[in-house]
């Protein structure tokens, strides 16, 4: 018991970004490939540029009368400049790519399609072992439509602000009860943002993932799957299973350059895990 408590304290998780939780409201889709998929239909409409601009812009309050206030009070007002966000073309680009990434990733993971149900029961490990055919289709499951992208830049350039502003346009958790008169009780995790673990290890990242799921969904996955003997090879299939179960739309890892190549077994091995 003492060892378990120490381990939980070592990997104490605090959410870096918390979004809203909503009840599922299914919207009609203009794109045929997005129809009849509760994970996609529960998302907000595809945002046009003007909607994104008005949503992410943040301007400090200003009143001419504030110029008459005391010096220290005016210094507090000046401090508000740190909250200022001016929408730029890069913000729109991030939101557009995120919008396509989430929806396209859900295409092959329709929870009501027979192929998706079969893949969920087959398991991630068996899918990897089965390999793919000459057309690149998984022999033990559906062909993934998931994708990803990286945002690179110097510190303080606004990378985190850009991605967080886009993520917060979407609900983080969608509670499903029924879909087209069929029972569908599911907590859909649309997005999850993790910070790189303090120890720079892949195992720390996996444990952060489990704790983040618990924090947002009210589950107990960390207690169930995390232990001192749990290796990355054990935790990666668990993460894939939970991501499928809760319909994880996008996983964002902030400050990923802090992952230690040495502790992760080298750059190639680390990138292979992230790709998996």
pLDDT exceeds cutoff 90 at 24: yes
**Spatial distance between the Cα atoms of 115 and 102, rounded to a whole number of angstroms:** 19
Domain residue limits at 149: 2-109+145-275
DSSP string, 188-203: EE-EEEEEPPTT--HH
Q: Are 93 and 159 within 8 A, CB to CB? A: no
Half-sphere exposure of 72 (CA within 13 A, CB side): 0
Residue 103 lies in a domain: yes
pLDDT exceeds cutoff 60 at 9: no
The model's pLDDT over 91-126, given as tens digits with 9 standing for 90+, comes to 999 999 999 999 999 988 888 887 666 666 665 556
Going by C-alpha positions, the residue among 169, 194, 177, 23 that lies closest to residue 102 is 169
Residue 19 lies in a domain: yes
Residue 137 lies in a domain: no
For a pLDDT cut of 90, what percent of the chain falls above it?
45
**Spatial distance between the Cα atoms of 176 and 276, rounded to a whole number of angstroms:** 27
Residue 208 lies in a domain: yes
Please give the tally of structural domains in the chain: 1
The model's pLDDT over 28-78, given as tens digits with 9 standing for 90+, comes to 999 999 999 999 999 999 999 999 999 999 998 888 999 999 999 999 999
Residue 116 lies in a domain: no
pLDDT exceeds cutoff 60 at 8: no
**Spatial distance between the Cα atoms of 235 and 221, rounded to a whole number of angstroms:** 11
Going by C-alpha positions, the residue among 6, 3, 12, 1 that lies closest to residue 210 is 12
């Amino acid at each position: 018991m003492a060892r378990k408590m120490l381990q939980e304290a070592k990997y104490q998780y605090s959410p870096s970004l918390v979004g809203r939780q909503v009840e599922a409201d299914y919207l009609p889709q203009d794109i045929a490939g997005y129809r009849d998929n509760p994970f996609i239909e529960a998302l907000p409409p595809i945002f046009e540029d003007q909607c994104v601009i008005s949503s992410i812009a943040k301007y400090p309050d200003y009143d001419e009368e504030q110029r008459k206030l005391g010096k220290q009070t005016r210094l507090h007002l000046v401090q508000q400049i740190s909250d200022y966000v001016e929408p730029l073309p890069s913000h729109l680009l991030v939101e557009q790519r995120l919008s396509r990434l989430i929806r396209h990733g859900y295409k092959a993971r329709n929870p009501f399609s027979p192929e998706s149900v079969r893949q969920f029961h087959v398991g991630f490990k068996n899918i990897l072992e089965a390999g793919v055919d000459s057309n690149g289709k998984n022999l033990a499951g559906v062909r993934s439509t998931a994708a990803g992208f990286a945002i690179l830049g110097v510190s303080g350039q606004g990378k985190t602000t850009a991605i967080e502003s886009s993520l917060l346009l979407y609900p983080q958790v969608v509670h499903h009860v029924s879909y087209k008169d069929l029972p569908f009780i599911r907590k859909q995790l649309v997005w999850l943002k993790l910070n790189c673990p303090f120890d720079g290890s892949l195992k720390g990242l996996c444990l952060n993932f489990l704790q983040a799921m618990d924090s947002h969904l009210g589950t107990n996955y960390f207690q169930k799957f995390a232990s001192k003997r749990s290796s990355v090879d054990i935790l990666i299939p668990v993460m894939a299973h939970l991501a499928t179960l809760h319909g994880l739309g996008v996983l964002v890892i902030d400050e990923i350059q802090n992952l230690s190549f040495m502790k992760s077994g080298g750059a190639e091995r680390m990138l292979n895990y992230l790709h998996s």
